[in-house]
């Protein structure tokens, strides 16, 4: 017998937690179903060595409760995974959310019942019916593990950064291969290199990385933030990515600046560390010439840092900076000065296969004791499509999204009434401070449900016309930037066979204004019944 509730939330990461809190306050009966054994979502799964956030701790945290943000103390400028997980647990306990979370349970599918106006939700531990379903499944959840030939033949240990053993791994004395040089690899490599006897880094595309300049959180800075936390949150929400207002966005153009002005500004921000670098000039992500200036400055830093000129050259990216997500590191480039660390270029001669002893690339076998897959995710759509969602007339999400994700405001898919996607494709999502985007979406969804209830209505659904126009708009905005100009996971290019569509929408403030305007205008673009 299915259990009846008002709202079912898929996932108990930061999105799921805040949804439960808001739904409860609205008087809804709500339950979150979580595959993991605890809360935390991405911070529950990504336990690889060196895992930490690349948005500063005082900004990567909830703003919805003044007492919460005043009482929590972050120990570092950029919190490491265990501390962020502890924060998620604290939020769950503080707001007594655990009683409505079912852990170790996977949502298998959900079918829309048009007569009852409810979703029938199947899990591997029983069934539910709910008026509303929210996919709070996270954007970087479904693991991408390339299906190399011979994978089963390797006799050593294999790991994926996003499914790291809870007990940790000691690589002391081992020969280790790391596949990938994205954000996860760039954080893990310096730490694995300290332990391993030999480390082989298999690089297909070099990534731009800027020093994080992490360290203990300065008490004076923490006090200043807390003295005006609401002000900081408000200013951050005016930034394109919902964070970084303290370092600001320089309105000047890199193209018209003199070489001296450019270098001074890049250097100043390089010393600050982190994403401040991308705010050096206003045209970095829209003008190829401006972008090349910012890119070349990083290449110069790489050449200054890495002693072996051939290795330095291999580490220098050629794609526009920020086209793939920029990385933050602590000692990444310096790691390649260790005699035990070897960079293996697999751009032209890809990894061919695994063997019992290791892996073959470019015709050379590299014998190792362990292989670390730092190969990323089937981003943004992977976790949503892993659930067998069937909307009106049994239409599958796989059919609805066969040519790429279609939705309105990134929030609702036509033909799937009362089903919301949190921070999904078509919204700023991964281009932003995720917690800000989560709060914006949860507040919008909660208000929409309240509006239905107050009006004695039962369903809300995006119209196909509004969704088609929205997809066109997202593509148009992206095409005005350099984001779609390389093979990134933003485009789905990292997963063989995935439709190539630029998924996130650049520009948080304009997006939030649009969502609020839609709500004010009686949810135009949605049909309410």
Residues near ligand NAP (CB under 6 A) are: 52-54, 140, 146, 161, 179-185, 187, 202, 204-205, 325, 328, 346, 351, 374-377, 430, 489, 494
- Using the minimum distance from each CB to ligand NAP, give the nearer residue, 131 or 160: 160
- Using the minimum distance from each CB to ligand NAP, give the nearer residue, 185 or 505: 185
- Using the minimum distance from each CB to ligand NAP, give the nearer residue, 147 or 260: 147
- Using the minimum distance from each CB to ligand NAP, give the nearer residue, 341 or 389: 341
- Using the minimum distance from each CB to ligand NAP, give the nearer residue, 224 or 346: 346
- Using the minimum distance from each CB to ligand NAP, give the nearer residue, 118 or 324: 324
CA angle 113, 119, 123 (to 5 degrees): 125
- Three-state SS annotation for 114-136: CCCCEEEEEEECEEEEEEEEEEC
CB 391 within 8 A of CB 415: yes
Measured between alpha carbons, how far is 92 from 36 in angstroms, rounded to an integer?
14
Minimum distance of ligand NAP from residue 473's CB (angstroms): 23
Minimum distance of ligand NAP from residue 308's CB (angstroms): 21
**CB neighbour list of residue 180: distance below 8 Å, 6 or more residues apart:** 202, 203, 204, 373, 374, 375, 376
List 290's β-bridge partners, or say none.
Answer: none
Minimum distance of ligand NAP from residue 216's CB (angstroms): 18
Measured between alpha carbons, how far is 209 from 274 in angstroms, rounded to an integer?
9
Structure tokens at 47: 């336990």
Query: Which residue bears the tokens 């997500």?
Result: 325
- Using the minimum distance from each CB to ligand NAP, give the nearer residue, 54 or 287: 54
- Three-state SS annotation for 140-170: CCCECCCCCCCHHHCCCEEEEHHHCCCCCCC
- Using the minimum distance from each CB to ligand NAP, give the nearer residue, 123 or 429: 429
Measured between alpha carbons, how far is 68 from 90 in angstroms, rounded to an integer?
9
What's the chain's Rg over C-alpha atoms?
A: 23
Minimum distance of ligand NAP from residue 116's CB (angstroms): 39
Minimum distance of ligand NAP from residue 204's CB (angstroms): 3
- Using the minimum distance from each CB to ligand NAP, give the nearer residue, 18 or 490: 490
- Residue showing the smallest CB distance to ligand NAP in the complex: 182
List 52's β-bridge partners, or say none.
Answer: 80
- Using the minimum distance from each CB to ligand NAP, give the nearer residue, 36 or 146: 146
Three-state secondary-structure class, residue 269: helix
**CB neighbour list of residue 243: distance below 8 Å, 6 or more residues apart:** 55, 56, 59, 60, 236, 275, 432, 433, 436
242 Rama class: left (phi>0) / alpha (psi -120 to 50) / beta: left
Minimum distance of ligand NAP from residue 200's CB (angstroms): 12
Minimum distance of ligand NAP from residue 138's CB (angstroms): 10
- Using the minimum distance from each CB to ligand NAP, give the nearer residue, 414 or 506: 506
* DSSP notation for 12-75: -SHHHHHHHHHHHHTT--EEEE-SSSSS-THHHH---TT-B-SS-TTTSS--S-HHHHHH---S
Three-state secondary-structure class, residue 183: helix
Minimum distance of ligand NAP from residue 324's CB (angstroms): 6
Minimum distance of ligand NAP from residue 505's CB (angstroms): 16
Minimum distance of ligand NAP from residue 293's CB (angstroms): 23
**CB neighbour list of residue 461: distance below 8 Å, 6 or more residues apart:** 412, 414, 415, 416, 417, 418, 526, 527, 529
Three-state secondary-structure class, residue 202: strand
Minimum distance of ligand NAP from residue 294's CB (angstroms): 18
Minimum distance of ligand NAP from residue 335's CB (angstroms): 15
Three-state secondary-structure class, residue 209: strand
- Using the minimum distance from each CB to ligand NAP, give the nearer residue, 3 or 347: 347
Report which DSSP code applies to 5: E
């Amino acid at each position: 017998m299915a259990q009846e509730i008002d709202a079912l939330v898929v996932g108990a990461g930061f999105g799921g937690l805040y949804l439960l809190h808001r739904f409860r306050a609205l008087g809804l009966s709500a339950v979150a179903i979580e595959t993991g054994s605890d809360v935390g979502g991405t911070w529950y799964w990504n336990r690889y060595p060196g895992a930490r956030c690349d948005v500063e701790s005082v900004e990567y945290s909830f703003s919805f409760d003044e007492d919460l943000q005043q009482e929590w103390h972050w120990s570092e400028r950029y919190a490491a995974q265990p501390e962020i997980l502890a924060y998620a647990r604290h939020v769950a306990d503080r707001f007594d959310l655990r009683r409505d979370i079912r852990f170790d349970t996977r949502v298998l599918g959900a079918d829309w019942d048009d007569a009852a106006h409810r979703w029938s939700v199947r899990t591997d531990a029983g069934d539910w019916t709910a008026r509303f379903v929210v996919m709070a499944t996270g954007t970087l959840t479904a693991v991408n593990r390339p299906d190399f030939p011979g994978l089963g033949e390797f006799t050593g240990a294999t790991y994926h950064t996003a499914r790291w053993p809870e007990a940790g791994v000691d690589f002391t004395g081992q020969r280790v291969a790391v596949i990938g040089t994205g954000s996860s690899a760039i954080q893990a490599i310096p730490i694995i290199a300290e332990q391993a006897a030999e480390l082989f880094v298999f690089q297909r595309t070099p990534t731009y990385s800027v020093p994080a300049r992490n360290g203990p959180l300065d008490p004076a800075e923490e006090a200043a933030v807390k003295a005006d936390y609401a002000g900081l949150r408000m200013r951050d929400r005016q930034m394109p990515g919902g964070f970084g207002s303290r370092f600001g966005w320089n309105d000047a153009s890199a193209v018209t600046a003199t070489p001296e002005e450019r270098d001074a500004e890049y250097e100043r921000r390089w010393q600050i560390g982190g994403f401040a670098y991308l705010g050096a000039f206003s045209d970095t992500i829209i003008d190829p010439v401006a972008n090349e200036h910012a890119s070349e400055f990083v290449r110069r830093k790489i050449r200054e840092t890495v002693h072996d000129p051939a290795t330095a050259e291999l580490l220098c990216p050629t794609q526009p900076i920020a086209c793939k997500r920029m990385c933050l590191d602590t000692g990444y480039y310096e790691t390649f000065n260790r005699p035990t660390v070897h960079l293996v270029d697999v751009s032209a001669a890809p990894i061919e296969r695994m063997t019992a002893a290791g892996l073959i690339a470019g015709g050379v076998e590299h014998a190792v004791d362990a292989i670390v897959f730092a190969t990323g995710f089937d981003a943004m759509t992977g976790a949503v499509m892993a659930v067998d969602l069937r909307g009106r007339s049994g239409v599958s999400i796989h059919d609805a999204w066969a040519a790429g994700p279609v939705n309105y405001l990134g929030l609702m898919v036509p033909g799937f009434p009362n089903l919301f996607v949190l921070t999904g494709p078509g919204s700023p999502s991964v281009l932003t401070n995720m917690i800000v985007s989560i709060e914006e979406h949860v507040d919008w969804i909660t208000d929409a449900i309240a509006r239905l209830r107050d009006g004695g209505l039962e369903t809300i659904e995006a119209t196909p016309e509004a969704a088609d126009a929205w997809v066109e708009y997202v593509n148009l905005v992206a095409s005005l930037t350099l984001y779609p100009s390389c093979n990134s996971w933003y485009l789905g290019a990292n997963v063989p066979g995935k439709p190539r569509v630029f998924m996130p929408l650049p520009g948080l403030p304009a997006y939030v204004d649009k969502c609020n305007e839609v709500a004010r205008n009686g949810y135009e673009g949605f049909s309410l019944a």
